[in-house]
Amino acid sequence: MNNLKQTLASIILFCVCSLLVNNISAQNNQTKSLRFTKNETGKHEYANIANLPSTFGVGEFTLEMWIKPDNSFPVGPTPWPQDPFPLKQEDVNQWAKNEDQLTNWSNSSEEPYSSTGWWWHGNWLLDGFSRNYGDRDGSFALQFYGGGRLRWLFDDGTGPSADKGYVYSVGVYPATETPSLLDGKWHNIQCVRRWIGKSEAQLELWVDGKIIDKKVIPTRVDMQKQFWNDWGVGNPPGLKGWLIGGEEQASSGVLVDYYWHQFEDYKGLVDELRFWNKAKSQDELQKHWNKAITKNIFGLVGYYSFENINIPSNYLIKDKIEENKAIMSLHKFDLQNLSNENAPIK
């Protein structure tokens, strides 16, 4: 009788475990996008691409992604954990927290180039800030500011001086001159570097087929050769490549030049991340921004669609184009971060 009971118990346990595994697998197979949530400092989930596609940034380029910011969070100030910032180091509480900074979509909209830290307050959708040689040469970032507006921060080594914030800004000022993206909808974002004139480049930020802002810069730098092919030059260990979903220090735990591991992060969905080694034409940007693509399309050099992510894969996602080099790793993710909602591409 005891043997029979043990056998039945083993069968029941096996069935329960099988159901759990199948349920997890089913959820994984329904994955269509990444979900980033509010977290305490040091616990931000994030996606890291340590090696960008090898030809992205060599010449003209377009970075494309779909996002759906979570508009259930309020717009408001995102002050430092100790506000005002302590003037003396001995007065700093490294473990101080400020709930508004963790919760709010930043309402800050300082004038670009007006100070060293005009871009410090904002929610980080993509943080590819570099610290080469103490400056921000090689940086690429997307940041929410002004109550749900988006700006592109970029530096090819010719950016503004330190007192003006180091990086070029492609985004509307004042922020209220463009619609907020906190409307509960999906939005297509495209960052374009286009050659113009004899030796200049134009940086363009497009949202849903409409140009939001553009900035002419004086040079055409090979970003791969100069910066992105070797993140170790001038950068602290652990800060390599691009982070999606949060600020790189707060997310990775690598503290460099601030006292706290607390910064504003992104909250919402991300889908269809695409790298192009061409500047898309105006016709492509205006008329085909919401179209589905195949991986064999001309100019596409990197592509993450986030379909059917598997838990046993250690959250490693291969680029569909450069599978052996460009790999995205997901950190501090669990099932709640894998969404079954996808971008409305046609």
- What's the predicted TM-score (pTM) here? 0.88
First-to-last C-alpha distance (Å) of the chain: 62
pLDDT for 134 equals 59
Is the CATH number of domain 31-339 2.60.120.200?
yes
pLDDT for 127 equals 93
- Round to whole Å and give the CA distance between 341 and 137: 36
pLDDT for 335 equals 84
Helix (H) or strand (E) holding 207: strand 200-207
Q: In the predicted model, is pLDDT for residue 7 greater than 80?
A: no
At 203-214, the pLDDT tens digits run: 999 999 999 999
Above pLDDT 70, what percent of the chain?
84
Task: Kindly state the average pLDDT of the residues 303-307.
Answer: 90
Which has the minimum average pLDDT: 53-62, 68-77, 326-335?
326-335
- Reported as a pLDDT band with limits 50, 70 and 90, residue 66 is very high
Bigger pLDDT: 83 vs 333: 333
* 79 HSE (CA, 13 A, CB side): 10
pLDDT for 257 equals 60
Q: Which contacts of 160-164 are long-range, i.e. CB under 8 A and separated by 24 or more positions? A: 160/113, 162/116, 162/135, 163/115, 163/116, 164/113, 164/114, 164/115, 164/116
Task: Kindly state the average pLDDT of the residues 306-320.
Answer: 73
R_g of the chain, CA atoms, integer Å: 22
At 281-298, the pLDDT tens digits run: 999 999 999 999 988 899
pLDDT for 6 equals 52
User: What is the average pLDDT value for the chain, to the nearest integer?
Assistant: 85
Bigger pLDDT: 44 vs 160: 160
Which has the minimum average pLDDT: 5-14, 129-138, 179-188, 222-231?
5-14
Q: State the CB neighbour count (10 A cutoff) for residue 37.
A: 16
At 179-189, the pLDDT tens digits run: 999 999 999 99
pLDDT for 254 equals 75
Q: Of 82, 221, 210, 77, give the one whose Cα is nearest residue 140.
A: 221
pLDDT for 23 equals 43
Residue 93's region, left for phi above 0, alpha for psi from -120 to 50, else beta, is beta
pLDDT for 344 equals 95
Residue 12 is given by DSSP the state H
**24-38, 151-165, 203-217, 329-343, range with greatest mean pLDDT:** 203-217
Interstrand relation of 105-106 and 46-49 (parallel, antiparallel or unpaired): unpaired
Which has the minimum average pLDDT: 204-208, 258-262, 341-345?
258-262
Q: In the predicted model, is pLDDT for residue 308 greater than 90?
A: no
pLDDT for 258 equals 60
Q: In the predicted model, is pLDDT for residue 117 greater than 80?
A: yes
- Exposure letters 20-32 (e unless 16+ CB within 10 A, then b): eeeeeeeebeebb
Q: Where are the domains of the chain?
A: 31-339
pLDDT for 21 equals 39
Which has the minimum average pLDDT: 132-146, 233-247, 306-320?
306-320
Task: Kindly state the average pLDDT of the residues 146-166.
Answer: 94
pLDDT for 314 equals 59
Judge contact between 304 and 328, C-beta under 8 A: yes
